[in-house]
Amino acid sequence: MQQNLLEKINHRSAVVGIVGLGYVGLPLAMEFARAGLPVIGVDVDLRKVEALRRGESYVQDVPAAQVQEWLTAGRFQPTADYGELRAADAVIICVPTPLRKTRDPDMSYIVSAAENVLAVSHPGMLIVLESTTYPGTTEEVFLPPLQTLGYTVGQDFFLAFSPERIDPGNQKFSVHNTPKVVGGLTPACTQVAAALYSAAIKTVVPVSSPRAAEMVKLLENTFRAVNIGLVNEVALMCGKLGIDVWEVIEAAATKPYGFMKFTPGPGIGGHCIPVDPLYLSWKLKALNYTARFIELADTINGQMPHHVISLAADALNEAGKPLRGSTVLVLGAAYKPDIDDVRESPALDVMIELQRRHAHVQYHDPFVPQVRVGEQLLKSMPLSAAALAAADCVIIITPHTQTDWDLVAQHAPVIVDTRNALKGRAISGRLLRL
């Protein structure tokens, strides 16, 4: 069975099933289709499936023309029916792994996908999990049910984990040229999974096990979360000491070794960095171990939106105005520049806290036309000299490159700049920086 699957992959006749057609699954599906493999894409959201069937794309990094090309070529079949995966030789699971309100992992999407995939599994199938989760998930969730079917791992079926590495909006690194880590349950599993990804991705990096591959992803994002937490705390310390943190960072970054530049901000957002380290922390609590760096970084990063509110209140107070009743214009709703993704965006936390303190909240974001803040649906307002001048305070959250920062510098009466977006510009009003 292993040889048969390898031959199918080599001849580009292996059918690849992708479960979850979001920010991770859809770009991956397009890449496999581009490589010449037929792809069956499954998503339980009928709106997504119908949009894809019409040749539309809802993912910023996937042009609609690309979807249309592979639909027309017959290489991409979007569906909401898991039964279609019976024709698949390999199934890759790319479903969400959010946190519950209690800050522990919500495994329901993975468990549901596993049940549906296992119901249509067959001998010779490769199953790969890409959803970020705690070490041990692939073995604990997928292996026992497959064994109850009488399958032998590495012979009758193949099981692996390969962490997604999607960076929305990145113009340099795509699915194709971002190295892919792969860890199979047996050497045969690793070989088959590596062969599949090698058909579409430039560089594949095999590791010894699914647990190792799962830990790779958590290390990557824990590294970022902890270092962002560190530089955010440095920003808080510099504020207490009356030192310009941005000057300190730029000067430190001139060291050609032993220093990696991170910058502070209003918090962390996105589908990975605020969430993934907490999966590891949660798992280790079950082993009576406290992941102290992770939890401290989470605390510091989680406090940053409140610090931004304090800065805004201080800036308004210096202008003789209270935060309550003031009009506050927030620039940027997305969690990072030049994308439309608002998942876990600190801008939402800032706007919710402003509402709680009875400020009148407005926002502008060229990529996010509307956003729900608490019970209120806000719409992005055009950025103009009049809108800036009418705001009592402007808070810069997301430094989109197409925002007219000179206009902001010239017309906003009070500015809180959390991203150093106005660096080097002449400011006509009052400016507070993080």
Provide the annotated active-site residues: 272
104 by DSSP, 3-state: which?
A: coil
Give me the residues paired with residue 414 across strands: 430
What are the start-end ranges of the E strands in 47-193? 76-79, 90-93, 126-129, 158-161, 180-184
Single-letter code of the amino acid located at 279: Y
Structure tokens belonging to residue 423: 């660096």
The secondary structure of residue 74, as a DSSP letter, is T
Q: What is d(CA 350, CA 25) in angstroms, rounded to the nearest whole number?
A: 30
Single-letter code of the amino acid located at 388: L
DSSP letter string, 373-398:
ETTEEEEPPPP-HHHHHH-SEEEE--
Q: What is d(CA 127, CA 147) in angstroms, rounded to the nearest whole number?
A: 14
Q: Which long-range contacts (CB under 8 A, 24 or more apart) does 277-282 make?
A: 277/218, 277/221, 277/222, 277/225, 277/226, 278/99, 278/103, 278/104, 278/105, 279/97, 279/105, 279/132, 279/133, 279/134, 279/218, 280/134, 280/135, 280/215, 280/218, 280/222, 282/103, 282/104, 282/105, 282/134
Q: Is 317 exposed, middle or buried (0-12, 13-18, 19+ CB in 10 A)?
A: exposed
Backbone angles phi, psi at 13, to 5 degrees: -105, -5
Structure tokens belonging to residue 358: 């009875």
The secondary structure of residue 142, as a DSSP letter, is I
Structure tokens belonging to residue 161: 């984990």
> Which of 94, 95, 83 minimizes the C-alpha distance to 121?
83
> Which of 403, 414, 434 minimizes the C-alpha distance to 239?
434
Query: What residues contact residue 218 under an 8 Å CB cut-off, 6+ apart?
Result: 132, 134, 135, 276, 277, 279, 280
CA 7 to chain centre: 34
